[in-house]
Structure 1
Amino acid sequence: MENSIVIVDDHVLIAKALSGIISNYENFRVLYECENGKELIEKLKFEKNCPKIVLLDISMPVMDGFETAKWLKENHPEIKIMALSMQDDDQSVIKMIKNGAHGYLLKNTHPAHLEQAMLKLVQDGFYYPEWASKIVFSSLNSTDSRQANFPKLTEREKEFLKYSTSEMNYKEIAEKMFCSPRTIESYRDHLFEKLEIKTRVGLAVFAIKNGFSD
């Protein structure tokens, strides 16, 4: 099944180049391109089909990526936002994620990596490369986090938490833990209930904050 994409970037040549690259991907197609967030909003008002993914630049005139991500989060939460930028500083990464980005990539990413990242985004609901994950998780750590009060966890649940901070999908985690994907889903659901967390990103953040990761 094809996943529809909209590219939002004020550099027309870059947007066109991205469209050309993505046209070679088997599972994705570009609906249209926009030069800024305001143009995207206008398009979404009149286009019949919303995209599955928005590839979103940060530095743009009129309406930048931060504002655009926040608007999409509030008005189209079903759309997955992949930030695609030259900015790799802590402040930009954290702000984009807080504003609703589900993934973050740099523009020097190899085309094959871009395709795999978007597949992960569709499959898992998020995608952050290792360097971006470290920025986000370190910002959420606190000195007293290990003292947090939380329900007693089994050893297998702790092991699952450790793997939740990796880039492995649930099937790969199941192979690592020598059990079935259904068992992994059970661990996940029990942890969601015990910790009152709703997403894998939430589990990963919890794991990092409380020392359950490598």
Structure 2
Amino acid sequence: MPTTVAIVDDHHLFREALVALVQKVDGYEVLYEAKNGRDLLVQIQYRSQAPDLALVDLHMPEMDGFETTIQLRHLYPVVRVLIVTISDLKEDIVKAVRAGAHGYVVKGLSPNEIQQAMNELMITGYYFPSLPNANGT
């Protein structure tokens, strides 16, 4: 049975590219595609099926990735959350971890790296690569 995935990002082009990428990875199936956290939660409630893994952007309108992570962890504790964002700010990383994220990657990574992140997160329960450019500004 494939690992089901939700992709949550307000940038349509990036979201579509990530959907296409994940669909090509053996053992993964995109179940939801949402423009923000509120959109994802409505879709999950409507279908009554939580995904195994959620790839979530941080900065989105209506419901950002921090609140989305908090809500997913509260309502669907089995969902693993991988933050996929442009931000490498330490404060965002810390805030995402405190919200309950299981992993954090910065956009710009290669297709192989996103696949590695998903695989490692699903196997070990977390994925936090070193972020050498992380800064506090």
TM-score range, shorter chain: over 0.9
| Counterpart for residue 104 of structure 2 | 104
- Following superposition, the deviation at residue 61 of structure 1 comes to 0.3
**Aligned-partner Cα distance in 1 for 2:49–2:38:** 18
Letter in 1 for 2:111: P
What is the correspondence of 1:17-166 to structure 2 with a 5 Å cutoff? 17-131=17-131
SS in 2 for 1:23: helix
Give the number of the structure with larger relative contact order, counting CA–CA contacts within 8 Å between residues 6 or more apart.
2
SS in 2 for 1:131: coil
**Aligned-partner Cα distance in 2 for 1:19–1:37:** 16
**Aligned-partner Cα distance in 2 for 1:2–1:109:** 23
| Counterpart for residue 170 of structure 1 | none
Higher strand share: 2
Question: Identity across aligned pairs (percent)?
Answer: 34
> Which sections of structure 2, spanning at least 5 residues, go unmatched?
none
TM-score for both structures, normalised by structure 2: 0.93
SS in 1 for 2:131: helix
The higher radius of gyration belongs to 1
- Following superposition, the deviation at residue 72 of structure 1 comes to 1.0
After TM superposition, where is structure 1 displaced by more than 6 Å over at least 4 residues in a row? none
> Which sections of structure 1, spanning at least 5 residues, go unmatched?
136-214
- Following superposition, the deviation at residue 46 of structure 1 comes to 1.3
Higher helix share: 1
**Aligned-partner Cα distance in 1 for 2:131–2:58:** 18
SS in 2 for 1:92: helix
**Aligned-partner Cα distance in 1 for 2:32–2:69:** 18
**Aligned-partner Cα distance in 2 for 1:94–1:70:** 13
Letter in 2 for 1:57: D
SS in 1 for 2:24: coil
What CA deviation, in whole Å up to 9, does each residue of 1:90-137 have, x standing for no partner? 0000000100100001110110011111111110011100228x98xx
TM-score for both structures, normalised by structure 1: 0.60
| Counterpart for residue 142 of structure 1 | none
